[in-house]
Structure 1
Amino acid sequence: MNTVVITGCTVADGRVADGASPVEDAGILVRDDRIAAVGTRQEILAEVADRTDVDRVDLGGAYVTPGLVNMHTHLSLSLPGAGGDQVKDLNPHELALYMADGARRTLDCGVTTVRCVAEKDHADFALRRAIEAGRVPGPRMFTAGRALVCTGGHGHEGTDTLECDGVDGFRRGTRAQLKAGADLIKVMISGGIAGQHESIDTPQLFADEMAAVIETAHAWGRRVTAHAGPAAVIAQAVELGLDCVEHGYQLTPEVAARMAARGTALVPTLLVTRCKGFFDELGVPEWMQCRSLGAGPAHLDSFATAVAAGVEVLLGSDMPPFWSFEGTNATVRELEHMAEVIGPARALHAATLGPARWLRAEADIGTVEPGRYADLIAMDENPLAAASAYRGVHWVMKGGRVVRTGPPTSGRKTP
């Protein structure tokens, strides 16, 4: 049994948002891939005092939190423009390698779990198996397979979506993703930023089609998340039992209150309406940039409305998690935007324990507790003082194995 003792750190996790205190001068005992004990340095060292087969890690006063969970990830993202066209032109073998490289970079940034919400050609399932088998470094993956859209609906142009129509069509589409191994289902119920022949508030599914997806997924024990912008469409889906909203560009207080009452979470992806540099880098066309950046003020107001109503908000970047952006990586930049509204303690919850609970994986990830996977990251600044502390992540452990140590990185772009 591989045993590691980690000392020289302060331990904090998402429970601080509910009043728990960080553990100062802490120690963490890791056996194989899971945390065996957490306590003071003296307590943990006493447990292994007479052992010589223990690896010892002194983090020199760093702050340790669980690895980040990015709940809106596309490792095969291809937006309109020259950069996206390069990804669309990859053959299946190239695509798999491209996504594997993105997974490695994502883990390198301290994101130890991702929720993929539309990936091309079901390559995500092969990547998930490769990561689980240890053949490829990467985060833990929860994936929706291909997102479900109506004919001509949002994202229909790519192989990361599946066009369906009518109740029977959407039931079949849902079951097709479940057959492939989907952990959740993603459905596009409105227009969005990247569809040239639609608007953000274009309704795209009828109520019976939405119900077909939600009922079928729930019958199989899977949750459903929806790409959605306008309040009226979101309200309808929430009443049908939707579990999560992606983006939520145009929420109203009434709809946000209903989301909170029904337990529907929000992944706001604030970056997508404030990332001109990213768009320029990829050669995203002017029409999309105007639509995206023009939606920014209302998007931020919508997020604040959801927070005020008590909606559970979760971290998700939409941009590739590792992408170098504004001096850090996309995951951290998204968390910084969220923290401006919810504060750093709640941001830590939104990046760790909140996602773990939505994924029904809180017994395995999301906190620094015995029994959880040893998915840990370290930084020199206090993340409970400012979310910008995550810019300084310099040590990453996944499943009890140190996968990166060294100076902070700002993330790396794709080639």
Structure 2
Amino acid sequence: MPLHLHGPVLDGSGDDEPRDLYVTADGLVSTEPVADADRVDGWILPGLVDAHCHVGIGPDGPVELEEARTQGHTDAASGALLLRDCGAPIDTRPLDDDPAMPEIVRAGRHLARPKRYIRGLPIDADEPEDLPRLVAEQAARNPWVKLVGDWIDRDAGDLTPLWPDDVLRAAMDAAHAHGARVTAHVFGEHALPGLIGAGIDCIEHGTGLTDDTIALMVEHGTALVPTLINVENFPSFADAAGEKFPAYGAHMRELYARSRQTVAAAIDAGIPVYAGTDAGGGIRHGRIVDEIAALGEVGLGTERALAAASSAARAWLGRPGLEAGAPADVVVVPEDPRTDTSALRRPVAVLRRGRAL
């Protein structure tokens, strides 16, 4: 059914004056009036973006396709209509025809070393030198590739890097030759210089950033998705290490203690920051509003946090916003969400390709 949307449009233009947008019968945005359109009033945003989630992973590892569908439906209902899936052990492409699913920008499967990530999730490189080949295989099928940059080394008893610098440089070259971008899971400090220096496009979590690696990210134009609501799990990760890995436990607690200061420093330095929840990786799906609020509180401010989960994130991922002819992925809320992010929890309408969810 055609719709007439009226109200301020938070699309990054900076114009708060009420505007009129229309949704055509075939689910596209129009700036021209559409006949027989039902009117919807409110604050209008492009569909929200969760730039770090895992459709296909549950608390116990890989899930069946129908559970992955439920995960996607939950995200869409929360307003997250575009997901960057940062590693999934199952192929979720069969879900793309489901009109209630968000659009998914995929990173294929995690790439790791044996026994250096969560069992059942990654493709393991038997030798570090296998990484460029594995990256090329993932990049041939996906616009992103996901590396595990660090993880607990049970021999060392703490976080250590997985890859030598020369292998990382070859891996980045392999991905970029296919037109794909690369991101990496990194909790600690030591993997960051090699990844950033090799030309990685994004860092996930980034709790180990220092002044030096923040400066390196600025130099290379590297983005950050800090997943603040998942960082809240670090104390429980430390507790789970128990007496077996005391150095790891202490390290995780220290990273947690300074995490907000770390992300604030990255923001102050001008690093592009985007909103991601890590849903499926210890966080339930549908919590994008919580991450927006956390980013606003840590120093991004509510307006920039909203952009980090909508217009700016869409541009970063190469997806349209609310321009004429774009798919009508839209969230309409009753009050200005820059004043109170809780307005995002009370949507007047959530539209996926013009279809009300």
TMscore range, shorter length: 0.7 to 0.9
1:333 correspondence with 2:290: yes
Q: 2:265 aligns with which of 292, 299, 305?
A: 305
Change (3 A) 1:97 1:392: same
What's the CA shift for 1:350? Answer: 0.5
Q: 1:377 aligns with which of 324, 331, 350?
A: 331
| Moved beyond 3 Å, runs of 4+ | 165-168, 195-201, 288-295
Describe the SS at the equivalent of 1:114: strand
Note the aligned Cα RMSD (angstroms). 2.8
CA–CA separation in structure 2 for the residues paired with 1:394 and 1:12 = 15
Give the match for residue 138 of structure 1: 101
Give the match for residue 101 of structure 1: 70
CA–CA separation in structure 1 for the residues paired with 2:314 and 2:157 = 32
- Return the TM-score normalized by structure 1: 0.76
CA–CA separation in structure 1 for the residues paired with 2:28 and 2:192 = 39
Q: 1:55 aligns with which of 4, 29, 37?
A: 37
Give the counterpart letter for 1:144 in structure 2.
A
1:76 correspondence with 2:59: no
Change (3 A) 1:56 1:140: same
Q: 1:219 aligns with which of 174, 177, 200?
A: 177
Q: How far does the alpha carbon of each residue in 1:206-260 deviate from its partner, in whole angstroms, 9 at most, with x for none?
A: 1122122211100000000011133342122112111000000111122112212
- Return the TM-score normalized by structure 2: 0.88
Describe how 1:2-401 pairs up with structure 2 within 5 A: 4-13=2-11, 15-16=12-13, 20-24=14-18, 26-31=19-24, 32-37=26-31, 47-48=33-34, 51=35, 54-59=36-41, 62-78=42-58, 84-85=59-60, 87-88=61-62, 95-120=64-89, 122-126=90-94, 130-131=95-96, 133-134=97-98, 137-155=100-118, 157-158=119-120, 160-166=121-127, 168-179=129-140, 181-191=141-151, 201-275=159-233, 286-287=239-240, 295-320=255-280, 329-340=286-297, 341-361=299-319, 364=320, 367-401=321-355
Describe the SS at the equivalent of 2:326: coil
Q: How far does the alpha carbon of each residue in 1:104-159 deviate from its partner, in whole angstroms, 9 at most, with x for none?
A: 11111111000111112x32233xxx32x34x62100111111111222233x12x
Aligned length: 348
Which structure 2 segments of 5+ residues have no match? 243-248
Which has the larger displacement, 195-204 or 381-390?
195-204
Change (3 A) 1:324 1:237: closer
Q: How far does the alpha carbon of each residue in 1:159-218 deviate from its partner, in whole angstroms, 9 at most, with x for none?
A: x31101446411221133234x212100011126xx877766411111122122211100
Preserved contact between residue 65 and residue 377 of structure 1 (Cα < 8 Å):
yes
Give the counterpart letter for 1:36 in structure 2.
S
CA–CA separation in structure 2 for the residues paired with 1:69 and 1:380 = 19
Preserved contact between residue 190 and residue 200 of structure 1 (Cα < 8 Å):
no
Q: Which structure: greater helix fraction?
A: 1
Change (3 A) 1:222 1:348: same
CA–CA separation in structure 2 for the residues paired with 1:288 and 1:123 = 32
Give the match for residue 81 of structure 1: none
What's the CA shift for 1:285? Answer: 9.0
Give the counterpart letter for 1:356 in structure 2.
R
Give the counterpart letter for 2:38 in structure 1.
R
Q: How far does the alpha carbon of each residue in 1:34-88 deviate from its partner, in whole angstroms, 9 at most, with x for none?
A: 2121xxxxxx5xx34xx4xx331323xx21111111011112334xxxxx23x55
Preserved contact between residue 12 and residue 368 of structure 1 (Cα < 8 Å):
no
Preserved contact between residue 53 and residue 276 of structure 2 (Cα < 8 Å):
yes
Which structure 1 segments of 5+ residues have no match? 38-43, 79-83, 404-415
